Structure 1
């Protein structure tokens, strides 16, 4: 199959539930989207909401943060876990990550005396007191940890979490409270064997999952493959070929793109629907920095001609744009990016800066779509006011928001 870049762009947006955006509804819509893409990425930075909430506000009509929280910590249909990085995925997927938990147990169990010595006390405290965070435990000895020295209590809790003994019971901000996993995950799921019997099967499953996380993906080095443990380039190539030979993924040639892209068999119907329709919804979307759509930014550059770098870790003096910048999509194109900041005390959404892409002209239809998008975004945040820092075009849009 050979398609144009515009066809590829529209299919990816369609697959990502952004074409049109904010059409899914409620917690069922959240589950539908996460089951489609596999997982969404969590990041602890909160500038205008956590990344996971920013992902969902662009897909779910009238999205409220409580919806995701309930699915995670009350309904237990979703779980915090390690996939691409720290992610949120369906609890039904627990068995597929068994080899990760076994790896963590092998690497960290009985490897650090300071941690091993307090595990029994932690288990006793949780049994007697219920869910606890590291701040509730008085084991303050510092130990070397993955990123930097940290308190032994935190390292112990995180070890128990990563090898599967504990689960995140709930959060206060980014502070995690842990409890025993077997109290919250059904025994049938908890004791189910890993469906992938060996690494070859796991690589095929993980690659197919990551293709579905975006919609189209190539067989080349990519940030989209992050977190697939043990996989080398030859493993990836072998797995791709077996997926192709078995008809689970299909090659798609896109004009002026050197590398072949691939699509899952189950997504072919959406591709055909996209190709057969000329409708372009008059809607705008604000995209999270770590949105699934952005997992391979080189691919986004090729297909959409949009160059994006997340600059939060760059020193201010060398940033091209801003600290926490959200891309903006209108219809089937990236038209702008902006730096927001939500002031919770004053309930004000501040637009620190706005950058248009080249050759973008603000039309009345675009103005209306952006006003609606801002209105929905403010509702998601709980904002009552918006400040646009004297950006002329946004002043006009702001007037429409307030009507």
Structure 2
């Protein structure tokens, strides 16, 4: 199939549009809770992360897109059984109706983790027996003096045997997180908390079909994709298998190859998205007015940022999350978040929250050298910082450093 020739700007705007980041969100007559559920369904999933320099990643993703979103809303959807937590791009919150799609992933974990679970037999059996008898329980209720090697342990085993058992039993699908209270997870048996219709569908799902369906979900989540992504399809595919999966869909007409102006990497979109991309190509001359382009601060694991190479190709923006980089080697900070303005990534902020004193610290606010600092841009950044502070219930904002230094965003001006 002949590639569709597209400008980089059109592809960039198409991607932002499909990620619900190009325009102001309009929830219409829906409640914010209903809009949150719908957005997660449209994004396919939202990545979970426990780091809380400010709010956690999952809440920042949703707050950047939905006016009025509050963290309790995601927890409420989980409590209502509208979502489940499992492995997609990483640990994610996913619409409940997609539970059967992940049967191949659960089977892969069952095969891989059985020996490790056998070693944890006393702790794993205790977890299952207690949940059977007592119902949902918080993770803190499972105690063990035995320490084992967990996912983040190196030479010395530091993880409680029961904590490791909880994680493994969740991976293989025996138990699941049914609600959260703050950062604490509450577990229950999968067999009595997933709708029976979905359990039956999962059990009867052919493994090959499960893998295909999961790959389709990945394509809908990424929207602009390439075969070089090691996470392609959210399953363990080698480079040859990734290329073959795309070629198969190109040959069938399901996927369209792109020839993007000035981009060497080969990208693809779903055929069903071609008209939407063409519309952005037709309106490429329409300038996104600064005053109509809200500033958004994107968390390190935002859906838009999943493929770092794509950011370079489409946005001319290099991004690395420096949370695991030694402090002395960091360029932008522990929790640096890209700044989106219209259809451009223009810099980063590194925020931290003093919860006791309700103070938002901006350790660094950095703009890229080529960004033209206008009066309107300053005003939009000020408003975005105020909104970000309000979302975190902070009454004070402290900006410790800016680049360039003459950005003129003093605390008094906020």
Asked whether the two chains share a fold, i.e. TM above 0.5, the reply is yes
In 2, Cα distance between equivalents of 1:258 and 1:390 = 37
Determine whether 1:32 maps to 2:43: no
Checking the alignment, whether the CA contact within 8 Å between 2:117 and 2:124 is kept in structure 1 is: no
- Residue equivalent to 2:298: 287
Partner-residue secondary structure (3-state), 2:311: helix
Match of 2:249 in 1: 243
Helix, strand or coil for the counterpart of 1:338?
Answer: strand
State which drifts further: 260-269 or 322-331: 260-269
Cα deviations across residues 227-282 of structure 1 (Å, max 9, x unaligned)? 83331111111111111122222112110111221112332343233223325242
Given that 1:368 and 1:397 are in contact with CA atoms closer than 8 Å, whether structure 2 keeps it comes out as no
Q: Does 1:180 align with 2:189?
A: yes
Post-superposition Cα deviations, 1:24-83, rounded to whole Å, max 9, x if no partner, equal 5612322332222221111110111111111111111121111111111x2211111111
State the 1:385 CA deviation: 1.4
For 2:47 and 2:14, locate their aligned partners in 1 and report how far apart those are by CA, in whole Å. Answer: 22
1:362 is aligned to 2:379:
no
Question: What is the TM-score when the length of structure 1 is the normalising length?
Answer: 0.90
| Cα offset, 1:146, TM superposition | 3.9
> CA separation in 2, counterparts of 1:80 and 1:169?
8
Displacement of 1:354? 1.3
Cα separation, 1, equivalents of 2:150 and 2:246: 35
Question: 1:201-229, CA deviations, whole angstroms, 9 ceiling, x for partnerless residues?
Answer: 5554444433332321122x22553x833
Q: 2:173 aligned with 1:164, yes or no?
A: yes
Q: Give the deviation of 1:196 after TM superposition.
A: 6.4
The residue aligned with 2:334 is: 323
The answer to whether structure 1 residue 13 and structure 2 residue 20 are counterparts is no
Q: Given the superposition, is the C-alpha separation of residues 307 and 21 from structure 1 closer, same or farther in structure 2, using an over 3 Å criterion? A: farther
The CA RMSD over aligned residues, in Å, is: 2.4
Superposition pairs of residues 184-199 of structure 1, within 5 angstroms: 184-193=193-202, 197-199=206-208
Counterpart contact for 1:140–1:153, Cα < 8 Å: no
Once structures 1 and 2 are overlaid, which stretch shifts more, 32-41 or 82-91?
A: 32-41
Q: Work out the CA distance in 2 between the residues paired with 1:262 and 1:359.
A: 29
1:50 aligns with 2:64: no
Range that drifts further, 268-277 or 281-290: 268-277
**Do the aligned partners of 2:84 and 2:178 also contact (CA within 8 Å) in 1?**
no
Report if the CA contact (8 A) 2:15-2:224 is conserved. yes
Determine the structure 1 residue equivalent to 2:92.
87
- Measure the CA separation in 1 of the matches of 2:336 and 2:204: 39
| 1:271-300 C-alpha deviation (Å, 9 max, x unpaired) | 233223325242211111111111111111
Contact 1:62 / 1:379 at 8 angstroms: preserved in 2? no
**In structure 2, do the counterparts of structure 1 residues 384 and 118 end up closer, same or farther at CA, with 3 Å as the change threshold?**
same
**Deviation of 1:12 (Å):** 1.1
SS, match of residue 249 in structure 2:
helix
1:209 aligns with 2:209: no
Taking the aligned partners of 1:229 and 1:323, their CA distance within structure 2 comes to 29
